[in-house]
Amino acid sequence: MKKPVLVIKFGSAAITTKEGDVDERIVLEIARQTAQLQSKYNIVLVSSGAVAAGKKYLKNYDGSLSARKAAAAIGNPLLVRTYSTYFKPFNIALAQSLCERQHFANRAQFLQLKDTYQELWKNNIIPIANENDVVSNKELKFSDNDELATLIAVGFGAEQLLFSTSVPGVLDSKGKVVSQISTIDKDVFSFVKKEKSAVGLGGMTSKLNFARLANQMGIQTVIFSMQTEDGILKAVKGETGTVCLPQKKKVSSRNKWLATGSLIKALVHVDEGAANAIQNRKSLLAVGVVAINQALETGEVFQIANEEGEVFAVAKSKIDVMNVESIRKKKNVAIAHADDIVLL
C-alpha cells in the first residue's frame, strides 16, 4: 500500500541555539522520532536555520538580503551535516533538496521534484528541503519556509503538515495554547501578536495563513514545539500543540496545484453578480470584472476577489486580458471556465 506523505517543518528558532549553533540535542530528537515514523510515512523534512547558523561567520552581519544569502551558503552545509550525523545511528541517509519558487510555478518542473522524492523514498532516504537562498532575489523568494513546506505538502497531497516552532502552539489572549482550530478565521488571527522569534521570518501570521491553505486542501496542520517531549510523535497523533483541522471536501491534485498560489500573476476584482455565479460553479465572464491589477496571458493564474476585497477563488485565464478596458466589449466571453476555477 502507498504510504501517506508527512511534511515536518522546523523553524530557525526551533533548530538553532541562542548562540546561533545548530541545536544538536534537537536534531538528535528529530532523528529519533522521525525514525519511528519512517515505516508508516513517506517523510519530507523542511529545515530552516541555515542563515541563523551561518551569520556569525560574517563580519558585520546586517540582515540584508546579500548578507542572508551569504549566511545561508555558509550555514546550509553545517545544518545538513548535523542532520546527517544524527540520523546515521538510525540507519537513515538524508538527501538535500534546495528549492526555488519557480520549481513550483511550473508543473513540469514540479513533477521532476516529485519523481526525485519518490526515488529517494523507494531507497528509504529522507529528503530535507530548504529554500535555495543563495540565488533567490527579493521578487523570487518564498515568503518563508512555512510557504515552501506548504507547497510541498499540497503538491504531494500530504496527509499532515507539522510546523515545529519556538512556541508550543497558537497562544490565545490569555497565553494558553489553543488545542484545536476547525476554521482559521478572523478570531484566530486576532490572537497574533506582532513579535516573532529573533531569527524567524514570517511569525505566526505566516504560519496561520499557510496552515489555512493546507487545511483548505484537506491537509491537517499542527503547530507545535520540539521542547515538548516526543513532540513529533505526539503532533502526528494530534496530541500536542495546536491542531488545525482539514476541510472535508475533496480537491483534485491539479486544482491543489492551482490553489497553492506560487504562480499567481494577478488579482481580479469582480462584482456581486460574478461572485455569486462563481460560488455557484459558473464561469467568470468578462462583464463581471471590475478591476485587474496586472495583464494576464492565456493560461496564467489569478486570484479572484469580491467587492469587499476578499479573495475567494483562484482561476486559470482562458484568454489574454490586457486590462479592464480591453475586455469591456467582450461581455459574455469567459475569462475563466468553471472547471478552471478553484473556490477557497
Ligand X SMILES: Nc1ncnc2c1ncn2[C@@H]1O[C@H](COP(=O)(O)OP(=O)(O)O)[C@@H](O)[C@H]1O
Mask for 193-232, x = binds ligand X (CB under 6 A): x-xxx--xxxxx----------------------------
Indicate which of ligand X, ligand VHF, none lies near residue 51 (CB less than 5 to 8 Å, by partner kind): ligand VHF
* C-beta of 234 vs 330, nearer to ligand X: 234
* C-beta of 118 vs 143, nearer to ligand VHF: 143
Q: What whole-number distance in Å separates Cα of residue 280 and Cα of residue 216?
A: 18
**Is the separation of the CB atoms in 299 and 264 below 8 Å?**
no
Q: How far is the CB of 168 from ligand VHF (least distance, A)?
A: 16
Q: Which of residues 304-333 bind ligand X (CB under 6 A)?
A: none
Q: What whole-number distance in Å separates Cα of residue 126 and Cα of residue 196?
A: 29
* C-beta of 38 vs 197, nearer to ligand X: 197
- Does residue 20 bind ligand X (CB under 6 A)? no
Sign (positive/negative) of CA torsion 236, 241, 247, 252? negative
- Does residue 16 bind ligand X (CB under 6 A)? no
Q: What whole-number distance in Å separates Cα of residue 16 and Cα of residue 113?
A: 28
Q: How far is the CB of 131 from ligand VHF (least distance, A)?
A: 4
* C-beta of 99 vs 341, nearer to ligand X: 99
Residue 24's SS3 state is helix
Q: What whole-number distance in Å separates Cα of residue 28 and Cα of residue 43?
A: 17
**Is the separation of the CB atoms in 50 and 79 below 8 Å?**
yes
Q: Which of residues 139-158 bind ligand X (CB under 6 A)?
A: 146
Q: How far is the CB of 118 from ligand VHF (least distance, A)?
A: 24
Helix residue ranges per DSSP H, the chain: 12-15, 24-37, 50-54, 65-87, 102-105, 107-122, 145-155, 186-189, 203-216, 231-236, 253-259, 272-279, 324-328
Q: How far is the CB of 34 from ligand X (least distance, A)?
A: 18
Binding residues (CB under 6 A) for ligand VHF: these are 11-12, 48-52, 72, 130-131, 133, 144-145, 200-202
Indicate which of ligand X, ligand VHF, none lies near residue 57 (CB less than 5 to 8 Å, by partner kind): none
Q: What whole-number distance in Å separates Cα of residue 253 and Cα of residue 177?
A: 33
Q: How far is the CB of 170 from ligand VHF (least distance, A)?
A: 16
Q: What whole-number distance in Å separates Cα of residue 138 and Cα of residue 232?
A: 32
Mask for 160-199, x = binds ligand X (CB under 6 A): -----xxx--xx-------------------xxx-xxx--
Distance of alpha carbon 129 from its chain centroid, rounded?
12
Q: How far is the CB of 325 from ligand X (least distance, A)?
A: 42
Q: Which of residues 227-256 bind ligand X (CB under 6 A)?
A: none
Q: How far is the CB of 49 from ligand VHF (least distance, A)?
A: 5
Distance of alpha carbon 209 from its chain centroid, rounded?
9
**Is the separation of the CB atoms in 71 and 50 below 8 Å?**
yes
- Does residue 12 bind ligand X (CB under 6 A)? yes
Question: Which residues of this chain interact with ligand X, rule CB under 6 A?
Answer: 11-14, 48, 146, 165-167, 170-171, 191-193, 195-197, 200-204
